[in-house]
Chains A and B, each alone.
Chain A
Amino acid sequence: MIRSLLPTMLQFLLHGLTVLLLPPLIPGLIAKTKALMAGRKGPPVFQLYYDLAKLARKQAVFSRTTTWVFLAGPVGGVAAGLAASSLVPFGHTPAPVSFEGDVILFAYLFGLARFLTILSALDTGSSFEGMGAAREATFSALAEPALFLGFAALAKATSSLSLGTMLAFPGTLTARFTGPLILVLAGWAIVYLTENSRIPVDDPNTHLELTMIHEVMVLDHSGRPLALVLYGASLKLLVLGALILTPALPRAPHAWQNWLAFYAALAGLALGVGLVESSMARFRMTKVPQFLVAGVLATGFAFLLMLV
């Protein structure tokens, strides 16, 4: 009994450690890719770890306008992200918490994080942050249907409602489902770029507040709250990344091979995001909804293909 439980417990432990320690590496990898593409040396890959360590020691500044809601955004973002991370499998490894219908909880936990982040932006009373909050709320209204259509397609293909089995696609993969799966992943890639506020939807490095979405919402955060915001954002890169990577990964016989494959794929994803960011510009704000509708269409079409 113990002997059979132990490997699973070890994997859960690894899952938890990955969630806690790995996320800040992903923005570092993206930034490094972009720098190399542009012919610069760029900041070290571990830059975000240094930033977080520095911010954790710093004092925070609070505006007299703000209330406790200002802190609810960073706290809720990380807490909801961590809770959601326990529901998603990292590659073909078991998710610590898995039950029928956990997909819905997964999606709504990110909704909770978004809600609290928007509120903490509005709490400052700044027009810039209000603008970012409004954009976040608007664009996510289009990203949500794409996410759920993808879930519907996968649920139809696997007859399951648990992320653990839904995403373990190659296990049930037949040639018939390959096309729809590619469409789902394409649609989700759009959702991924939107939810993580990357180019072409948002530019995390811009210096013009008028054009930003997510970054402008946290302009007033500093010190430890800002550390939580930054860590929460990188956590989202990891957790949503697991969502689009897992169905695409082949299943290996040994657990360590699966973990290795997942880490390699994650690095590949960071590289891919970096390449996208290096090769294209941010869309005009009015074009963003069209981009998101493309995501809805891709996942919707995938669902239709699953039906026939």
Chain B
Amino acid sequence: MSLFLLALLAAAASGVPGLFLRRRGGEVAAGLLGLAAVAGLWASLRVLSGGPGGAVTLRTTSLGSSGLLVLDPLAAFFSVPVLLLSACGALYSLGYWEGRRGNTPALRLIYGLLTASLLMLVMASHALTFLLAWEGMAIAAFLLVMAEDREAETRRAGWIYLVATHTGTLLLFAAFALLAKVQGHSAFAALPAGLAATRGGTALFALFLLGFGFKAGVLPLHFWLPPAHAAAPSHVSALMSGVMLKMGILGMVRFLSWVPDPPIWWGGALVALGALSGVLGVAFALGQHDLKRLLAYHSIENIGIILLGLGLGALGKSLGNPVMQTLGFAGALLHVLNHSLFKGLLFLSAGSVLHATGTRDLERLGGLGQRMPWTSGAFLAGSWAICGLPPLNGFVSEWLIYLGAFRGLGPDLGPGRQGWPVVILLSLALIGALALACFAKAFGAVFLGLPRTGMAARAHEAPRTMLLPMGLLALACLAIGVAPILFAPALGRVADAMGPATGAALPALAGLPMISMVALALGLLALLLWRWLRPMPRGDDRPTWDCGYAAPEARMQYTASSFAGGLVRGLRWALRPVVHLPRVSGWFPLPTRYESHVPDPVLDRTAVPALRLAVRGASLLRVAQGGALPVYLLYVLLTLLALLVWMVA
């Protein structure tokens, strides 16, 4: 515990020396965050392997006597991605921000503070510390999103994020107030049985779901997420998407762990929201042209997958089905870790593309595989994992959720409830197929074929400080994917925190060693076949055959939009793409253009028009606010008179 607190302090202080040093401030910050990661991971892994945790307790009567911070298996588990990604991001920023002027030292300080608030948040075991850390995280992330605040797009994204996160926080304040009223104190503790079925329990569930849903980016509360992730510096996007969204999940997980008897409809609601976020998240990702916005929509999709797992676990808990409970919660939790690894990897490699070419527009990229082989390998590994393809880590967590859902089809679920596992199965299958299409599109458009613009043609490989963190994350993805059995005992311990179940059964799953075996066989076969192909001499400089077309050109390639065109058309009832078709008429038609984009259904179609309407309504009040001092004095006088009359009467 003290080691972990030391890590927290090191993270918080990591940016301080940089404020005073003229040079090497970034290296010092990265070093401190690296040390924090080593110390923190050591402490976390000790807890995860069954060692004792620890707690910070403040003994004052007004706050209740229980702990403020606690390092239990859940906290230790959620701290792993925080520590890993923040250290990787700090190292990455050395290359990414090299030569950047202005407020870089301040941003480094805020980055350290964000890491520290995240670490405090995962350990929080009291409403006070939780909300304090929550707010620290929200504000630090806001400041980091605003790093490039000279651009109007960034400022807009930042303000939208700030409004959304505070709306969520407001709901959380209400939720914790209600919890304190029900419980009599504000410390985190198990709720009494029977509470969940009452009206208070329903209100608690709804408030927590909405409040944490804002942070996690659950559809339709996701609207702040794509602009903020696109505008933030890439290693900050990685930390936001990989870790900060998961704090919403952490909140839901903590809440579910306190409730001994969740009603069945809670699990149903989680599954429904998960299916909605998952399927629509990937559908909207298909319509994007901006690489980082595309990745942001995929975060929504993965939050959907996590919710599917949580819903399955909650259903298992309500029905007293320990297998469903363990597999659902374990799958969801492992997906939390996996998503932070591969999404961090994807955002870092997207940042390296942005760094090398200066654009995030898929239609302006292409052919980077030859110019940036390492970055392209990293992005491919991330895509491979996020599509849930074996033998990487995404497959293992999805496999656990699939297995739980299939098990849920068994006879013990009872009639009329088998719909939920089928919804989970179908959503996962559809999400998997659509995600595969989307990442084939993204990887193909950015790294394969010919460069579509000069910016892409002049691209260069990223410096080593940027490649090293990517390599580290890719290795972590491979390790979990190939040897899941090594991680199963720790995962079982964390899943057990969700209520009395049999997390110990997790390592006994026969499938886990078999997955490793098939993964190894797959690798061996690929290696053999590769060696069989290798001896062939590489032909000299030839263009693509393309059915004999003599002069292929980069502009003739299939674009990202046309690749996804069929699916976007098929899903147009949900996506409602805005298409500007060129009009060609007359004998000598003028130059024209074709344009299509998929606006966000909540932000662009609902929230912004609604707020505009509210502003227009508010402007009616301006009649009363003329700016003339005598009139205001008159108002004061009238108010006084009115009060006088009221008091007398």
Answer whether A78 and B418 are a contact pair too, CB < 8 Å, given A102-B514, A124-B544. no
B558 touches A122 (CB 8 A): yes
A125 touches B434 (CB 8 A): no
A149 touches B426 (CB 8 A): yes
**What A residues does B426 contact at CB under 8 A?**
145, 148-149
Q: Type the 1/0 row for A60-91, where 1 means its CB is closer than 8 Å to any CB of B.
A: 11111111010100111011101100110000
From A60, A126, A145, A161, give the contact of B429 (CB < 8 A): A145
Q: Does A14 contact B (CB under 8 A)?
A: no
Closest chain A residue to B368, Cβ basis: A67
Closest chain B residue to A153, Cβ basis: B409
B425 touches A63 (CB 8 A): no
B433 touches A99 (CB 8 A): no
Q: Which of these binds chain B: A5-13, A131-139, A167-175?
A: A131-139
Q: Does B633 contact A (CB under 8 A)?
A: no
Main secondary structure of the interface of B (DSSP, over half): helix
Q: Does B510 contact A (CB under 8 A)?
A: yes
Q: Does A51 contact B (CB under 8 A)?
A: no
B536 touches A60 (CB 8 A): yes
B518 touches A83 (CB 8 A): yes
Q: Does B367 contact A (CB under 8 A)?
A: yes
A119 touches B440 (CB 8 A): yes
Q: Does B176 contact A (CB under 8 A)?
A: no
B510 touches A100 (CB 8 A): yes
Q: Does B373 contact A (CB under 8 A)?
A: yes
From B448, B533, B536, give the contact of A75 (CB < 8 A): B533
- Complex CA gap A138/B557 in Å reads 18
Question: Which A248-276 residues have C-beta < 8 A from chain B?
Answer: none
Question: Which A138-187 residues have C-beta < 8 A from chain B?
Answer: 138, 140-145, 147-149, 151-152, 155-156, 159, 161
B552 touches A126 (CB 8 A): yes
Q: Does B509 contact A (CB under 8 A)?
A: yes
A62 touches B570 (CB 8 A): no
Closest chain B residue to A78, Cβ basis: B529
Of B366, B515, B557, most A-chain CB atoms within 10 Å: B557
**What B residues does A114 contact at CB under 8 A?**
436
From B373, B384, B436, B536, give the contact of A67 (CB < 8 A): B373
From B444, B515, B521, B567, give the contact of A86 (CB < 8 A): B521
Q: How far is the CB of B439 from chain A (nearest CB, A)?
A: 8
Q: Does A25 contact B (CB under 8 A)?
A: no
Q: Type the 1/0 row for B381-422, where 1 means its CB is closer than 8 Å to any CB of A.
A: 000100111100001001100110011011100010010011
A147 touches B429 (CB 8 A): yes
Answer whether A134 and B564 are a contact pair too, CB < 8 Å, given A122-B444, A220-B545. yes
From B369, B389, B409, give the contact of A111 (CB < 8 A): B389
**What B residues does A223 contact at CB under 8 A?**
536
B399 touches A130 (CB 8 A): no
**What A residues does B387 contact at CB under 8 A?**
111, 115
Q: Does B562 contact A (CB under 8 A)?
A: yes
Q: Does A42 contact B (CB under 8 A)?
A: no
B436 touches A224 (CB 8 A): no
B390 touches A109 (CB 8 A): yes
Q: How far is the CB of A69 from chain B (nearest CB, A)?
A: 6
Q: Does B507 contact A (CB under 8 A)?
A: no
Answer whether A115 and B422 are a contact pair too, CB < 8 Å, given A126-B546, A134-B562. no
**What B residues does A127 contact at CB under 8 A?**
546, 556-558
Question: Which B429-467 residues have C-beta < 8 A from chain A?
Answer: 429-430, 432-434, 436-437, 439-441, 443-444, 447-450
A104 touches B545 (CB 8 A): no
Q: Does A128 contact B (CB under 8 A)?
A: yes
A118 touches B545 (CB 8 A): no
Closest chain A residue to B426, Cβ basis: A145
- Complex CA gap A78/B447 in Å reads 24
From B389, B418, B450, B537, give the contact of A125 (CB < 8 A): B450
Closest chain A residue to B282, Cβ basis: A141
- Complex CA gap A289/B566 in Å reads 10
Q: How far is the CB of A7 from chain B (nearest CB, A)?
A: 22
Answer whether A123 and B369 are a contact pair too, CB < 8 Å, given A63-B543, A152-B406. yes
Q: Does A1 contact B (CB under 8 A)?
A: no
B437 touches A141 (CB 8 A): yes
B525 touches A82 (CB 8 A): yes
B538 touches A62 (CB 8 A): yes
Closest chain A residue to B410, Cβ basis: A159
- Complex CA gap A103/B425 in Å reads 12
From B399, B436, B544, give the contact of A115 (CB < 8 A): B436
**What A residues does B594 contact at CB under 8 A?**
none
Q: Does A228 contact B (CB under 8 A)?
A: yes
Q: Does A112 contact B (CB under 8 A)?
A: yes
**What B residues does A138 contact at CB under 8 A?**
437, 566-567, 570
A219 touches B448 (CB 8 A): no
A219 touches B529 (CB 8 A): no
Q: How far is the CB of A145 from chain B (nearest CB, A)?
A: 5
From A125, A152, A161, give the contact of B544 (CB < 8 A): A125
Q: Does B511 contact A (CB under 8 A)?
A: yes
- Complex CA gap A209/B557 in Å reads 15
Q: How far is the CB of B208 from chain A (nearest CB, A)?
A: 32
**What B residues does A87 contact at CB under 8 A?**
518
- Complex CA gap A27/B429 in Å reads 29
Q: Does A193 contact B (CB under 8 A)?
A: no
Q: Does A225 contact B (CB under 8 A)?
A: yes
**What A residues does B366 contact at CB under 8 A?**
125
- Complex CA gap A25/B537 in Å reads 30
Q: Does A204 contact B (CB under 8 A)?
A: no
A sample of 12 inter-chain contacts (CB < 8 A) reads A60-B536, A69-B369, A104-B399, A122-B448, A122-B449, A122-B563, A127-B546, A134-B562, A149-B422, A219-B547, A220-B546, A224-B532
| Residues of chain B at the chain A interface (Cβ within 8 Å) | 366-367, 369-370, 373, 376, 380, 384, 387-390, 395, 398-399, 402-403, 406-407, 409-411, 415, 418, 421-422, 425-426, 428-430, 432-434, 436-437, 439-441, 443-444, 447-450, 509-511, 514-515, 517-518, 521-522, 525-526, 529-530, 532-533, 536-539, 541-547, 552, 554, 556-558, 562-567, 570
| Residues of chain A at the chain B interface (Cβ within 8 Å) | 59-67, 69, 71, 74-76, 78-80, 82-83, 86-87, 97, 99-105, 107-109, 111-112, 114-115, 118-119, 122-131, 133-135, 137-138, 140-145, 147-149, 151-152, 155-156, 159, 161, 209, 219-220, 223-225, 228, 289, 303, 307
Beyond known contacts A100-B403, A111-B433: 13 more, CB 8 A cutoff: A65-B544, A69-B380, A74-B529, A75-B529, A118-B440, A122-B440, A123-B449, A126-B557, A129-B558, A148-B426, A148-B429, A151-B406, A224-B532
Q: Which 5 A-B pairs have the closest CB atoms?
A: A130-B558, A125-B449, A122-B444, A137-B437, A141-B433
